[in-house]
Amino acid sequence: MIESKQVLINEYVKALRSNTASVFVGAGFSCDLVHFDWNKLIEPFRKKLGLTKRTIIDNPTIAQYYLNESKTEVTAFKQEVSQAFHTDKFQYKHKLLAKMPIRNYWTTNYDPIIENALKFVKKKFEKKNSNSEFAKIETERQTLVFKVHGDIDAPEHIVLTQDDYDGYESTHPNFYTALENELALNNMLFIGYSFNDPDIKNILKKLKAKNNSIGPNHFFIVKRATKRAAQKEQLLFLQDIEKYGIFSLIIDEYNEIEEILEAIYKQYMSYKILISGSAHDYSEYGTEEEAKELIYDLGYNLVQKDQGYGLKVINGNGFGVGPSLYEGIAEATALNDLDMADYLKLYPFPKKYYSLYEKPDFMEKIYIPYREKMIEQCGAVFFLFGNKKDKNGKIINADGVKKEFDIAVNKKKYVFPVGTTGYKAKELAELVLSDFEKYNGNMPNIKKKLEKLNTPKLSKEEIIDIILSIIDILSFRPESK
């Protein structure tokens, strides 16, 4: 059993960073959109057969009995059932899953909700909804979606009746093999299933067919059974499936799944760092040489301390900040025989944009989506300096830094203005510290670190150590927040 949500979050984030994370989605994850679970789906056919709810017959068997009794043609019956699952919608929790670097998406659901979310985040995917689809290969895909029981695009292939389940291994050998390989190589997160869901039991049958070698761990989020007798049965079941490497986290309400997914995403993304800032003047911090040494050393140490865990630095190449930052990153990657492209992602603004003291509306309309795209790539933003010259040559606080701050807050990114560097960063630090929980949540230890970053005359070593410490806590030690 998994002791706490944070343990599961940590383990799945590790899988995301090592590119071994997959997910298996059951009906419970989407039923509030399509309004159907197994029982609701089958209930009309149970009634037509004259069976009461007290009749102890599983749902696939009821579907089979109805098909036998009604003499309905199989394809027509499946088309009728599949009509209930048409939707062009998705929810925030589906979007979270779609945005994660998940290797493969597996689902027994007929609906297209996962695909809708993947399309929205513009992730290229290939769908397998029947055994014959495995012969097709899409070379530009970023991920695969396995529709284990078929879907609405091919209703004739949906798995619904007892005959479908009994013959699954012979009619769907490619799915069977692919799932075995997935479970042997990757870390699977099961969500939207109950402990007595027939699909879970079928998956366990496949695991039983495997050899006894120890493979990767898998994770099962399951809602606590309501009745005391069922709770005991549930606990025994969850203890038993640990022999297959499936470790369970029991939750009280399904809405906790979204909270867990959001925490997973934020922790994973917190190792993607945006350094926002610009500077024509550094005097509120120190000399120009001292300021550029700080920026250079920050870039160098971000890479030096990474140790191959997947750090990514995002930067808009702000005037007076960007060049020193990526020069430091360049030295660290060169000295450690690393690829700079693995550590730095640039969103540079053109020279004519910087040369204009007051940008026309049409230009700002172009670059607001550009900033949004840049900030979407990160999980935490550190703001440095933030000043520019006005048309008279006077140093004023940079409005572009404030725009990036507002976008980051709107996108629920962590925001950490380094107030000791002065200018707009100082102004933003005071704003954040006036209501830290509003901007970053309840993180008292990190709040203290940000307060320290807002004190004057810190050495560059102190500044860098605090920034690295914040990143480390967010990304690897969230229990210390």
Q: What domain range includes position 158? A: 5-265
241 and 304 housed in the same domain: no
Cα–Cα nearest to 329, from 314, 318, 350: 314
Task: Give the Cβ contact number of residue 45 at 10 Å.
Answer: 20
150 and 122 housed in the same domain: yes
344 and 367 housed in the same domain: yes
β-sheet bridge partners, residue 385? 278
335 and 469 housed in the same domain: yes
Lowest mean pLDDT among 91-95, 239-243, 415-419: 239-243
Cα–Cα separations (whole angstroms), residue 14 to 18, 20, 100, 443:
6, 9, 12, 22
Max mean pLDDT range (50-64, 248-262, 389-403): 248-262
- pLDDT per position as a tens digit, 199-242: 667 777 666 665 555 679 999 999 999 888 889 999 998 998 89
Query: Which is more confident, 391 or 13?
Result: 13
State the amino acid at position 107 in one-letter form: T
Of 243, 265, 287, the residue at which a domain comes to its end is 265
311 and 252 housed in the same domain: no
Residue with tokens 């990657």: 333
102 and 15 housed in the same domain: yes
63 and 194 housed in the same domain: yes
Assess whether pLDDT exceeds 70 at residue 195.
no
Of 250, 265, 280, the residue at which a domain comes to its end is 265
pLDDT band at 60 (very low <50, low <70, confident <90, very high): confident
363 and 291 housed in the same domain: yes
Of 221, 244, 265, the residue at which a domain comes to its end is 265
181 and 309 housed in the same domain: no
Lowest mean pLDDT among 43-57, 179-193, 365-379: 43-57
390 and 468 housed in the same domain: yes
57 and 143 housed in the same domain: yes
Cα–Cα separations (whole angstroms), residue 4 to 14, 242, 249, 250:
16, 16, 7, 9
Cα–Cα nearest to 192, from 97, 312, 116: 97
Kindly report the average pLDDT of the chain as a whole number. 90
Percent of the chain with pLDDT over 70: 93
Total domains in the chain come to: 2
Taking the C-alpha atoms of residue 195 and residue 233, their distance in angstroms, rounded to an integer, is 9
